[in-house]
Structure 1
Amino acid sequence: MTPDIHIVFDCADPDRLARFWMVALPGYDFPHGPPDGFATWEEWADANQIPEDQRNSGRTIVDKEGRRPDIFFLRVPEPKTTKNRVHLDVKAGGPFPDAERRARIEAVGEQLTAAGGSIHRRVDSAEGFWLVMQDPEGNEFCVN
């Protein structure tokens, strides 16, 4: 059997981070809605007497086409303190001429800033142009 991967983010607010990454990675969504008989997950949690402080302990998002790994957001008590040793690249530029590629990258950067991320820096070098960004909890990623 060949192992698969599940990407995991430790974070303070799994729901917020999952929603940010669904904007960053089109095609990702929550795996399913609430169980039959419940209009919302909140209603289900109330019916099952799940304490408020345990309701946002984790979230999973999945690629609806099943081609990319699932991403799990796990609530942890400690804050992020140092630079990531692993990061995601959001491939937005595509195989276009430099000006169009740059415009596509900047447009995605603006979209992700509106969703709660921030541009840490712009890199413009002989190797190309990309954005180094941070998600709402400071996790670094690149848009290239």
Structure 2
Amino acid sequence: MTADVPGLHVVFDCADPDRMAKFWMLALPGYDFPAPPPDGFDTWESWADANKVPEDQRNLARTLVDKAGSRPTIFFNQVPEPHPPTKNRLHLDVKAAEGLAGDERRSRLESTTARLVDAGATVARMVDGPEGFWLVLQDPEGNEFCVI
């Protein structure tokens, strides 16, 4: 990235950054936490215990990075207010069936949707018309996204 071309991060305001990061890691294979716990610790939780990080400070934010380096970094920041009950003005499309058509595409979209529902998503609606077939889901905190 050159200085005159801005990069891009995706940022979610949410109640539970850890849960949201783990959900989106499943929804977007290839994303992971940027670093494992420091040497000598099996988990970040054990590191936090050893460093006396207060419980209420342990889930303020999470970061996911694309291990291939080609997609934007995703941040999850804890905020006190709940998700508003109105429609998102911006959403993500999970491209689960690139290069597929017909029944094979539909099957891939449905199996991806089932996996995400098992992980905490809900199906908001299914679009099946002249413009195509896709599913609109909500993540565990109600943010809409499409499986296309």
TM-score norm. by structure 2 comes to: 0.94
Cα distance, 1:95 vs structure 2:
2.1
Q: Which residue of 1 aligns with 2:108?
A: 104
2:104 matches 1:138: no
Tell me how large the CA RMSD over aligned residues is: 0.9
Residues 28-86 of structure 1, C-alpha deviation per residue, up to 9 Å, x if partnerless? 11111111222211111112211101100000011111000010000000000122111
Q: Identify the match of residue 8 of structure 1 among 6, 11, 17.
A: 11
Q: Measure, in 1, the Cα distance between the counterparts of 2:99 and 2:13.
A: 33
* C-alpha distance in 1 between matches for 2:65 and 2:124: 27
Q: Distance in 2 between matches of 1:40 and 1:99?
A: 42
Which stretch shifts more, 5-14 or 28-37?
Answer: 28-37
Q: Which moved more, 1:34-43 or 1:116-125?
A: 34-43
Q: Look up the equivalent residue of 2:36 and give its one-letter code.
A: G
Residue number among 47, 50, 54 corresponding to 2:50 in the alignment: 47
Alignment partner, residue 127 of structure 1: 131
**Deviation at residue 99 of structure 1 after TM alignment:** 1.1
Question: Which runs of no fewer than 5 residues in structure 2 stay unpaired?
Answer: none
Deviates more, 1:33-42 or 1:51-60: 33-42
CA positional deviation for 1:3: 1.3
Provide the C-alpha distance between the structure 2 equivalents of 1:7 and 1:94, rounded to a whole number of angstroms: 22
1:65 aligns with 2:68: yes
Size of the alignment, in residue pairs? 144
Gaps of 5+ in 1: none
Shift of 1:102: 0.6
Detail structure 1 runs of 4+ shifted over 6 Å in the superposition.
none
SS at match of 1:35: coil
Instruction: Determine helix, strand or coil for the equivalent of 1:77.
Output: coil
Relative to the length of structure 1, the TM-score reads 0.97
Partner SS for 2:74: strand
